[in-house]
Amino acid sequence: MPGKSQSHTDAVLNVLRGTNLIAPASVYVGLFSTAPTDDGSTGTELSGNGYTRQQVTFGAPAADTGNLRKVSNTNVITFGPATADWLQAVAFGVWDAATNGNLLYWDSLTTAKTVQNGDSAQFGIGALVVKED
């Protein structure tokens, strides 16, 4: 099940206590070979062999099914090219930094992706969606 990291959930809830939620200057998307979980598991992010997180820009919130709201990327996001085969990516995450930083949101990929040497992974405009209820 997709979700927010516990630290980001706490930051959102702290707004009710009068604590400002400070937006990061930029956000970055990365890929996981093992997805995180809402109980605090951090998952396993891909690393090495030409992999790096990519900056992402999101559009304004929009309606989704039911009472969900969503945002989607307004830029093409390309990972790679790989300099050696990567582990299979099964999920994505959105962070507040290009390296290290805090995981904000994560979700499973619709289709797992294995990037092989010389190949790239890409999200077209509107393909990376983050939902909130």
Cα distances from 72 to residues 15, 17, 54, 60, 130, in angstroms, run: 24, 29, 15, 8, 6
- The answer to whether the beta carbons of residues 23 and 104 sit under 8 Å apart is no
- The answer to whether the beta carbons of residues 117 and 84 sit under 8 Å apart is yes
Q: Parse the chain into domains and list their residue ranges.
A: 3-132
Spell out the per-residue pLDDT of the chain, length 133, in tens.
467 777 788 888 888 899 888 889 999 999 999 998 877 678 999 999 999 999 999 999 999 988 889 999 999 999 999 999 999 999 999 999 999 999 999 999 999 999 999 999 999 999 999 988 7
Q: What is the pLDDT of residue 91?
A: 96
Q: What is the pLDDT of residue 83?
A: 98
Please tell me the distance from the alpha carbon of residue 126 to that of residue 72, in angstroms, as a whole number. Answer: 5
Q: What is the pLDDT of residue 2?
A: 66
